[in-house]
Amino acid sequence: MKYIDEYRDATAVRKLAAAIRTATTKPWTIMEICGGQTHSIVKFGIDGLLPDQVTLVHGPGCPVCVTSVALIDSALSLARRPEVILCSFGDMLRVPGSETDLLTAKAGGADVRMVYSPLNAVELARTHPDREVVFFAVGFETTAPANAMAVLQAHQFGLKNFSLLVSHVTVPPAIRALLSSPENRVQGFLAAGHVCTVMGTGEYPSLAKEFRVPIVVTGFEPVDILRGILDCVQMLEAGEVGVRNAYARAVREAGNVPARQILKEVFQTVDRDWRGIGRIPASGLALREEWQQFDASRRFKIEIREGMESPECISGQIMRGARKPHECPAFGSKCTPDHPLGAPMVSSEGACSAYYRYRLGRTAS
C-alpha cells in the first residue's frame, strides 16, 4: 500500500541498519517516547537489527498507561452514578483502578459506553437530555484538540448535560522530568511524530540545549524509526546537541496552527500526576476558567484521592526506561492482558502489551 509499503521496504531497512552499525563506535542509550513506536520496534524486531552498543529503552508515551489511578477511581465513581453515562475510548475500560476497572463496572450495571470520538459523546448528550454525559478525556497533545472541539461544540449547542473528566498530559515536561532524574541513563530521544504534527518542534530546542542531548522527531514505521535512530547516533557520535526532524512529511516547525489555537482557547497548563512516575510540574492540561461548566470534577464535586496500584507492578520503572517488561517478575504469569496488574499490559500502546504479544516465551533484548 502506497505510503506504508515504502516505509517497510526491506532493502531500505537493511541499508539504514548497516549505516547505524557503521556510525556507532561507542555505547549509547536512546529512548523512544511514544508507545506506538515501542510497538513497531518490538513487532518488527528493530532493536535486533542494531549493534550491541545501541540500547533502546521505552518511555512514558502511552497516555492510557500514565493516567493516574486516582483519575480512574474518579471515573469509576462517576460511572456508578445512576444519572451518568460515562464515555471513554476502549483502552481505558480495562485499565485497573485501586480495586476494579470500568469494564467490570459496566458488567455490574454502570452505563459505560465505548466511543470513537468525543463528538460521539456530545451527540449522546443531545439525544439524552435527561442524563449527564461525561467523556473521559485522556491523551497527549494529539487527542486534546478533538476534546477541545467537543467543548466548543457542546457550548454551541447550549448543552447543560455534557462534561469532560480531563486527564491530558504533555510530552516535553515528561522529557524534562526523565532527564532530571538521578536514575536517568538516556542520552538521546526519539520524539513522537504525531505529537509534533500537532505541536510542532518549538518546545524541543531549549530542552536539548539545557540537558545537552539530541532529540530526533520521527514516525512509526520501520524506516522512520531506523532513520531517527541513525540521526540520533550520528549526533551522539559527533557530540551534537539539538533537534532534527526525521518526519518532515508530517511535521512542520509550527505544527498544526489551528489545532494549537483551539488548545490555547480551551485548556490551560497544570501540574499532573503520572501513573507510576508521580507529579510532573506543568505537564497536564485542564479546562480554562471560562469553560469550567464543562469540568466533570467541578460539576460533580469529585475529590481526587491518591489511588493504590498493585505493589507487584513495576510499570513506573518501565515507563522511566529503568527496566524492560520481561524483567518484571509478574510479566506473563500474574500479569497478562486478560488479568493485568498495570496499564502497560492493557493499552495497545503499552510496552508490556507489546512484549507479551510479540516476545513472550523468548528472551527480549
What distance in Å separates the CA atoms of residue 11 and residue 169, rounded to the nearest whole number? 38
Mean pLDDT for 207-216 is 97
pLDDT exceeds cutoff 60 at 298: yes
Average pLDDT over all residues of the chain: 93
Are residues 226 and 9 in contact, defined by beta-carbon separation less than 8 angstroms?
Answer: no
Residue 125 confidence (pLDDT): 98
Q: Which residue has the cell 540545549?
A: 209
Mean pLDDT for 181-200 is 95
Q: Which of 93-97, 119-123, 310-314 has the highest mean pLDDT?
A: 119-123
How sure is the predictor about 363, in pLDDT bands with cuts at 50, 70 and 90?
very low
Query: In the CATH scheme, what architecture does the domain 5-63+171-245 have?
Result: 3-Layer(aba) Sandwich (3.40)
Residue 365 confidence (pLDDT): 42
Alpha-carbon torsion 39, 43, 47, 49, what sign? negative
Are residues 324 and 57 in contact, defined by beta-carbon separation less than 8 angstroms?
Answer: yes
Residue 170 confidence (pLDDT): 96
Q: Which residue has the cell 520481561?
A: 326
Q: Which residues contact 1 (CB under 8 A, 6 or more apart)?
A: none
Alpha-carbon torsion 71, 75, 76, 82, what sign? positive
pLDDT digits (tens, 9 = 90+) for 334-358: 999 888 888 899 888 899 999 999 9
Domain 5-63+171-245 shares a fold with domain 65-170+256-299: yes
CATH topology classification for 65-170+256-299: Rossmann fold (3.40.50)
> If you write DSSP's letter for every residue of 284-302 in order, what string do you get?
EEEE-GGGGGGBHHHHTT-
Residue 342 confidence (pLDDT): 86
- Strands 267-274 and 278-287, how do they pair? antiparallel
pLDDT exceeds cutoff 80 at 27: yes
- Tell me the pTM: 0.92
Every domain of the chain and the residues it spans: 5-63+171-245, 65-170+256-299, 315-359
- Among 206, 190, 263, smallest CA distance to 20 is for 190
What distance in Å separates the CA atoms of residue 170 and residue 71, rounded to the nearest whole number? 16
pLDDT digits (tens, 9 = 90+) for 220-265: 999 999 999 999 999 999 999 999 999 999 999 999 999 999 999 9
Task: Give the three-state DSSP class for 85.
Answer: strand
Q: Which three cell numbers stand for residue 46?
A: 528493530
Other C-beta atoms closer than 10 Å to the C-beta of 363 total 6
Q: Which residues contact 303 (CB under 8 A, 6 or more apart)?
A: none
Are residues 20 and 229 in contact, defined by beta-carbon separation less than 8 angstroms?
Answer: yes
How sure is the predictor about 364, in pLDDT bands with cuts at 50, 70 and 90?
very low
pLDDT exceeds cutoff 70 at 101: yes
Task: Give the three-state DSSP class for 166.
Answer: strand
pLDDT digits (tens, 9 = 90+) for 303-322: 777 767 788 889 889 988 88
